[in-house]
Amino acid sequence: MNTGGFATLDWIVLAVGIVGVVWAVYRAIKKDQEKMKGADSQDYLFGKGEPWYVIGMAIFAANIGSEHLVGLAGTGAKDGVGMAHWEMQGWMILILGWLFVPFYQLMINKMGKIITMPDFLKMRYTQRTGSWLSIITLIAYVLTKVSVTAFTGGIFFKYLLGLNFWVGAIGLIAVTAVFTVFGGMKGVMTLSTIQTPILIIGSFLVLFMGLAALGDGSIVTGWQTMMDTCNAAHNGFGTTHMFHTDPADPMYPQFPGYVVFLGASIIGFWYWCTDQHIVQRVLGQVPGEDNKDVIARARRGTIAAGFFKILPCFMFLIPGMVAYALSQKAGSGIIMDITNHESTDGAFAMMVKNILPVGIKGIVTVGFVCALVASLAAFFNSCATLFTEDFYKPMKKGKSEAHYVFVGRMATVVVVLLGLLWMPIMMNMGNLYSYLQDIQSLIAPAMVAVFTLGIFSKKITPKAGEWGLIGGFVIGMIRLLTNVLTDSGKAVMDGAFWANTEWFWQTNWLIFECWLLVFIIILMVCVSFFTPAPTQAQIEAITFTDDFKKSIRESWGIWDIAGTLLVIGLCGCFYWYFW
């Protein structure tokens, strides 16, 4: 077992690898610019006409960030597979490809341009609804993307390279900002293509070599030792099962019974099917192209991403469990205190530092650095897209494309600064990955209700969508405020104002999320009874023509079905093993 940390060879490999990646991205961007013959804000923000396998890798890479390298491995070390519901969602990405992509392409055809998610709500509901979605999404990026990625990047570099926390966090942002300014979406797509295979291979090296170290050379023995060690954790209730139904289980208050699956699905539905950060990966198609080819390419990209999405549990979460088991083994070099959030969040970095051999460690770190930059760059790019397309362009029409790109970059700077200001508050709100999903549980219900009812019901009125989105978001932010004030419900709020409100701020976060979704749906249905019906144009916006239905039917074949069923089957097998 290697416990020497980073050697000179590792630093050389890391430096050469990063230079190589920069050169490859630069060449791809220059080639694309020559092809475009000039700057275009939509090409910069979206990219166009990528093949299905690039789309699949871009979706996967956009999802993988430092919250996985740090947070998912950390929660694996602390709580085992309890958080696997949020990662075993390859089946959820299929809903994007099979159900939502045709609707989004329909909107692209009708509007004659590539759309953002606020564009969809503006056409289906009201201008105000779309604008509020942009505001909510940007706030979500501050709370869950920029701050989380910067924080976890700082932790990762601290435990792996020994850098000061703030140097690692701010350094990551600075490098990514430079990359985003010059790279745009083409740079993100290219970097995703490069880093995905390195990230996958490197993470599995960490897994298998960690298991071998745990099993004294035997991976099979190491797996059994890990399962035995984790089964004995949490007062003997164990951390190797996904459902915790016994109220005496220490994990029951956080993940009560089977409601955890429903809560994770609500967040997954919002994230994979309606979040600009992910959907933007499949919207970069040229309006006017043959519908069948566009839908087929996008769907196959989501199927590929569905396969990729099965991997993070094995790439990060289970290595976290291995790290915990190794911390119980003398001489492993891994020291961990599961009551200390920062200690568990450093699990993956400690595995890379102590398990991988010299040289390989440097190569793998190149992939991890690319993953951090690609993920954060995707957030930056989405911020620029939302602000430029949904706020600035409607107010300042007729400006040059270079001007719009510059404004998008400045908007991203503001979001980054707000994320850094939020970071100290976030650091005091418990385990990183639990914090991330807790915040998302307050945002997701409104998104799910508004998008789902907007597409599947022609009776939901424009004002109902507006009320549902704004009302759900306000309730979620009030709950967030109480989380900050009460340490996520652990403390008590006194005073007449808070009398008899314990149900609001002490209810389990997953149960609160489910009831919030039900409330928003009921609210939207009730408002629809008393407000003007949608116009004919709004109804037509979500109505497939016969020709469009035909193009959808012609867009899939036997391999699409086989790939879809295989993704679902693999997800089912994981649930069966860790039930």
- pLDDT tens for residues 101-120? 888 887 777 776 666 788 88
Residue 259 has pLDDT above 50, yes or no: yes
CATH number for the domain including 292? 1.20.1730.10
For range 537-544, the mean pLDDT: 82
Burial of 57 (0-12, 13-18, 19+ CB in 10 A): buried
Residue 373, pLDDT above cutoff 70: yes
Is a pLDDT exceeding 70 seen at residue 448?
yes
- Domain ranges, residue 318: 8-427
Q: What is the pLDDT of residue 356?
A: 84
Q: What angle do CA 356, 362, 367 make, to 5 degrees?
A: 100
Who wins on pLDDT, 323 or 495?
Answer: 323
Block residue for tokens 């475009």: 36
Above 90 in pLDDT, residue 223?
Answer: yes
Domain membership flag for residue 252 = yes
Residue 295 lies in a domain: yes
Residue 202 has pLDDT above 90, yes or no: no
* Mean pLDDT across 384-399: 76
Which whole number is the average pLDDT over 367-376?
76
Q: What number of CA atoms fall less than 13 Å from residue 574's CA on the CB side? A: 25
Structure confidence at residue 45 (pLDDT): 46
pLDDT confidence of 351, banded at 50, 70, 90? Answer: confident
Does residue 284 surpass a pLDDT of 90?
no
- Tell me the pLDDT of the chain averaged across its residues: 82
Looking at the predicted structure, is the pLDDT value of residue 39 above 60? no
Residue 466 in any domain: the answer is no
Structural domain contains residue 556: no
User: Given a cut of 70, is residue 285 above it in pLDDT?
Assistant: no
Average pLDDT over residues 323-327: 90
Residue 288 has pLDDT above 60, yes or no: no
Most confident of 403-412, 440-449, 551-560: 440-449
Separation CA 258–CA 244 (nearest Å)? 8
Q: Is the pLDDT higher at 189 or at 571?
A: 571
Other CB atoms within 10 A of residue 498 CB: 15
Mean pLDDT, residues 143-148:
80
DSSP-derived letter for residue 218 is -
**pLDDT surpasses 60 at 124:** yes
pLDDT band at 393 (very low <50, low <70, confident <90, very high): confident
Does the residue 386 lie in any domain? yes
Per-residue confidence (pLDDT) for residue 475, from 0 to 100: 94
Which of 261-270, 473-482, 503-512, 529-538 has the weakest average pLDDT? 503-512
Higher pLDDT pick, 32 / 91 = 91
Instruction: Using the Cα atoms of residue 335, residue 340, residue 344 and residue 346 in order, give the sign of their dihedral.
Output: negative
pLDDT at 78: 87
Least confident of 229-233, 274-278, 510-514: 274-278
**pLDDT, mean of residues 412-417:** 80
Domain count, the chain: 1
Phi and psi at 554, nearest 5°, equal -85, -5
* The two three-digit tokens of residue 565, written as one number: 């069923």
Q: Tell me whether residue 212 is in a domain.
A: yes
Q: Which tens digits make up the pLDDT trace of 54-98? A: 888 878 877 776 677 777 888 888 888 988 999 999 999 999 988
3-state secondary structure 72-84: HHHHHHHHHHHHH
Tell me the C-alpha to C-alpha distance, in Å, between residue 325 and each of 84, 158, 261, 336, 378. 18, 22, 27, 10, 34
Looking at residue 493, its pLDDT comes to 66
For residues 87 and 409, the model is more confident at 87
Which pLDDT does position 106 carry in this prediction? 79
| Predicted pLDDT at 4 | 55
Q: Is residue 552 part of a domain?
A: no
Residue 415 inside a domain? The answer is yes
Average the pLDDT over 429-439 and give the result.
77
